[in-house]
Structure 1
């Protein structure tokens, strides 16, 4: 925790959390400040991470964050239907469909008719797509390491365990039903 800024002009993106918690609890004293700080910090840190990865690794390759996510799923999970790519990437089917149009145009993804259902489309990486995602992920992981290096190995292990505990909580399971 840092000292509360004297004016909103002293705030930055991540520093806004402290200010927001203080101001909110002044007006709404029944708000749980710890839960609020946790939610805001996780959200803002995630946004900062994604912005960093997208701006330093993926945009220079002509990809959006969503495009990277589609390629990443296809790289690791192999050919699959678009609806399954949507599930594994946490995106809507419409978003995946729009992204695949661009990735197919760029020669990174191909579509074929699924054998089990003539209406279904199977997505897969092309050879160029495989080369592109493995190269991109190497650079992506370098940025992941830069962020992770702020913590000791034991701190990383504890944080991963805590995040996994949140990800498997009853609230997370309720949220997963919405996908």
Structure 2
């Protein structure tokens, strides 16, 4: 559904993709419109999903999306060094360190030395953090189910397989990562 380029005021979040592709192709005819549509659509879907989870589940609990991701990793795989949390969450070490400060202040995470090397600092979820993340995850999963309900089980499995293929494909070895 191409929107009249003379009417950009009528664009919305979804129709802007068509408009952007049309305008870019007018400026740069060699651009691959399918690849462009893929990245714009994936980014918009991800942004909408994250915003929904953050605003409906995590912000009411005083967390950001990254804060939830840190708690989630520590809940399931902790105790962990900050660099491992960064690897598992796709965040920078600096971001994990800053989030750990906030989560520690709120009593959800504790720092302590590793038994095998006392110089290594581990992040560990506290009992209060465990209670908070396990109760939050129920609401989180309710939102996941609402998003997934738009697709059939087979469509979900196909989409998951395609996204996993994308993450492990030939471009994945060249991907710049945050950690």
Compute the TM-score of the two structures, normalised by the length of structure 2: 0.94
Q: Deviations over 1:23-63 (max 9, x none)?
A: 11111110000000001111111111111100000000000
Give the equivalent residue in structure 2 for 1:4: 2
Query: Which of structures 1 and 2 has the larger relative contact order (alpha carbons within 8 angstroms, sep 6+)?
Result: 2
Q: Deviations over 1:100-133 (max 9, x none)?
A: 1110111110110122333321111111101111
2-structure distance, mates of 1:177, 1:46: 17
What SS does the aligned partner of 1:111 have?
A: strand
2-structure distance, mates of 1:61, 1:103: 12
CA contact (8 A) 1:4 1:18 kept: yes
CA contact (8 A) 1:14 1:45 kept: no
1-structure distance, mates of 2:13, 2:79: 39
Give the equivalent residue in structure 2 for 1:155: 155
Q: Deviations over 1:62-90 (max 9, x none)?
A: 00111000000001112111111011111
5+ long unaligned stretches in structure 2: none
- Show the 5 A alignment for 1:4-83: 4-6=2-4, 7-83=7-83
Q: Deviations over 1:139-163 (max 9, x none)?
A: 1111111111111111111111111
2-structure distance, mates of 1:130, 1:12: 40
How many residue pairs align between the two structures? 177
2-structure distance, mates of 1:111, 1:134: 20
5+ long unaligned stretches in structure 1: none
